[in-house]
Amino acid sequence: MRVLGIDPGLTRCGVGVVEGVPGRPCKLVAYYVVYTEPDDDIALRLLHLDNSLAELVAEHKPESVAVERVFSQHNVRTVMGTAQASAVAILAGSRAKLPVQTYTPSEVKAAVTGSGTAGKAQVTAMVTRVLGLDAPPRPADAADALALAICHIWRGGTRARIEAAALKAKQLARRSRGGVR
């Protein structure tokens, strides 16, 4: 299965595309970092991110999308931007009718390294090994997005297909009730 992982951020948003099956080494397809200018208007930044992610989904045609779940951090201002970017990331998948799964940072670390408290260097080292790369992916935002995609492949498979079917059923049910109440 082919998965597009997104590590959401408003200033830097990591995107990693990986192919594989549960428990086996994976194949790197591509990775990117989408940047937006902190000085730009928020409407412009979100639109740029939205356009860029839509383009990458259209180009790589993943079967599902994995997005890092946002938690509160120390810097409230950063959290807002990350939460906004995560909404754009999730929509990039659901608007393309793909199943979207969110994972906490510790779920990703546990899936890739075996420990939910692994450090950044350890995650990057495992991503490099699992994908059979000669050197770690740079910048780090891309490594986290690739780890998300690997996490989804190793944990996912059948589950993703079940969720896609459930999502479609719910969308059909909702449409018949009308979009706006």
Q: Which residues of this chain interact with its own copies, rule CB under 8 A?
A: 32-35, 40-44, 46-48, 50-52, 55-56, 70, 72, 76, 79-80, 83-88, 90-91, 93-95, 99-100, 102, 163, 167, 170-171, 174, 179-181
Smallest distance, Å, CB 100 to its own copies? 4
Q: At 35, give phi and psi (nearest 5°).
A: -105, 145
Smallest distance, Å, CB 10 to its own copies? 9
- CA 5 to CA 10: how far, in whole Å? 16
Is there a catalytic annotation at residue 141? yes
32: tokens are 């990117």
Active-site residue, from 39, 107, 134, 141: 141
Residue located via tokens 């692994």: 118
Phi-psi map region of 75: left, alpha, beta (phi>0 left; psi -120 to 50 alpha): beta
Active-site residue, from 68, 107, 134, 163: 68
Omega before 62 within 30 of 0, i.e. cis: no
Residue located via tokens 């979207």: 100
Smallest distance, Å, CB 31 to its own copies? 11
User: What type of residue is 49?
Assistant: L
- CA 5 to CA 122: how far, in whole Å? 18
8 vs 20, which CB is nearer to its own copies? 8
94 vs 115, which CB is nearer to its own copies? 94
82 vs 126, which CB is nearer to its own copies? 82
60: tokens are 């790589």
Is there a catalytic annotation at residue 68? yes
Smallest distance, Å, CB 71 to its own copies? 8
Positions marked catalytic: 7, 68, 141
